């Protein structure tokens, strides 16, 4: 049975393009143009994953509201936010209402597909027991590459998919500098330097929320970032 994806996007051309691309991969896609039509359908039957555009119609917050509603209907459903806006505040707000990841609209379809696949994988594996072989340990850091989760000093760190990929890229080779291009490749995204900086900042803050003394991600100015070895 193919997985069901719901796309909520008000721009018809984009909506249809995304839907076609995902169908070609093999997903069962339902596309909605408005928040209300999507919600009505969700109340009847939930999809397996939702891709939501933040700027639905005239209301700039329709997407946020939809996310919140959807999250309240299902705490585990993977939600991916799309938006033309790439301002930090929108990313943060989107993630705060419960989305799992954030992507700008000018991302390529392969990047979108990679994310969706990973989100599905993560969702599936979250219910099955963790296997020790999947975990990479770097000091207090434990990365479960299959389930795409991270733990710091035993406590789970709530990273988005993009953030997980970045931490993974850094921590796999501690002490090596990863430049921005490398990080972007690993995170299946193409963004400008400022966005990378914001992602890294957010990652640091999430770790620091658990452990205020966290300083393992070092900025190497002019080169990139590095996971500090023990």
Partner 1 sequence: MTRLGIRAQLLLVLTVFLALPWLGVEYARELERVLRDAQDRTLAGTAQAVAIALHDRPRLFDAPVRLVAPTGQPPQDLVDAAAARPVLSAGAAVAAPELEQILQGLTRTTARIRIVDRDLGVLAHAGSLKRAPADAASALSWLDPILALFLARPTEEFVDDDGSGSAPAHREIVAALDGIPATGRRTTDDARAVVVAAAHPIWVGDRVRGAVLVEETTNAVLAERNRAFERLFAIVVAILLVGSAALTLYATWLSARIRRLARDAEGAIDRDGRVRGPLPGSDAKDEIGDLARSYSGVLARLAGYASYREQLASRLAHELRTPLAVVRSSLDNLRASPPPDEPRPYLDRAQQGLDRLAAILARMTEAARLEEALDDAERERFDLADVVAGCVEGYRVAYPQRPFALSAPAERLPVDGAPEIVAQMLDKLVENAVDFATGGTIEVALAREGDRVRLTVSNEGPPLPDGDAEHLFEPLVSRRPQEGRTPHLGLGLAIVRIVATRHRGEARADNRADGRGVVVTVVLPLAAAE
Binding site for partner 1 (CB under 8 A): 11, 13-14, 17-18, 20-21, 24, 84-89, 104-106, 108-110, 190, 192-194, 197-198, 219-223
Question: To the nearest whole angstrom, how small is the minimum distance from the Cβ of residue 129 to partner 1?
Answer: 36
Identify whether the C-beta of residue 78 lies closer than 8 Å to the C-beta of residue 100: yes
Please, which residue, 85 or 172, has the CB nearer to partner 1? 85
Question: To the nearest whole angstrom, how small is the minimum distance from the Cβ of residue 136 to partner 1?
Answer: 27
Please, which residue, 165 or 225, has the CB nearer to partner 1? 225
Please, which residue, 37 or 208, has the CB nearer to partner 1? 208
Please, which residue, 104 or 188, has the CB nearer to partner 1? 104
Question: To the nearest whole angstrom, how small is the minimum distance from the Cβ of residue 130 to partner 1?
Answer: 35
Strand residue runs (E) in the chain: 4-8, 28-32, 49-53, 79-83, 101-104, 135-138, 141-144, 149-152, 155-157, 177-178, 217-220, 224-227
In whole angstroms, give the CA distance from residue 225 to residue 230.
16
In whole angstroms, give the CA distance from residue 70 to residue 38.
10
Identify whether the C-beta of residue 163 lies closer than 8 Å to the C-beta of residue 188: no
Please, which residue, 8 or 148, has the CB nearer to partner 1? 8
Please, which residue, 40 or 84, has the CB nearer to partner 1? 84
Please classify residue 13 by burial: count the beta carbons closer than 10 Å to its beta carbon, then call 0-12 exposed, 13-18 middle and 19+ buried: exposed
Question: To the nearest whole angstrom, how small is the minimum distance from the Cβ of residue 16 to partner 1?
Answer: 9
Question: To the nearest whole angstrom, how small is the minimum distance from the Cβ of residue 200 to partner 1?
Answer: 9
Question: To the nearest whole angstrom, how small is the minimum distance from the Cβ of residue 6 to partner 1?
Answer: 17
């Amino acid at each position: 049975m193919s997985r069901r994806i719901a796309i909520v996007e008000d721009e018809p051309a984009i909506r249809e393009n995304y839907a076609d691309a995902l169908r070609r991969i093999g997903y069962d896609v339902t596309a909605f143009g408005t928040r209300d039509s999507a919600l009505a359908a969700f109340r009847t039957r939930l999809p397996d994953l939702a891709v939501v555009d933040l700027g639905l119609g005239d209301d700039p917050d329709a997407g946020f509201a939809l996310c919140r509603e959807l999250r309240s209907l299902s705490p585990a459903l993977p939600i991916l936010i799309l938006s033309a806006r790439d301002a930090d505040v929108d990313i943060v707000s989107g993630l705060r209402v419960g989305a799992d990841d954030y992507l700008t609209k000018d991302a390529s379809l392969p990047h979108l597909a990679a994310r969706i696949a990973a989100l599905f994988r993560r969702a599936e594996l979250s219910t099955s027991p963790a296997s020790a072989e999947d975990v990479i340990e770097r000091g207090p850091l434990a990365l479960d590459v299959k389930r795409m989760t991270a733990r710091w000093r035993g406590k789970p760190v709530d990273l988005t998919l993009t953030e997980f990929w970045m931490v993974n890229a850094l921590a796999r080779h501690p002490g090596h500098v990863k430049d921005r291009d490398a990080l972007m490749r690993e995170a299946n995204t193409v963004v400008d330097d400022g966005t990378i900086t914001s992602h890294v900042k957010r990652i640091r803050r999430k770790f620091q929320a658990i452990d205020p003394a966290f300083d393992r991600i070092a900025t190497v100015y002019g080169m990139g970032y590095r996971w500090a070895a023990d």
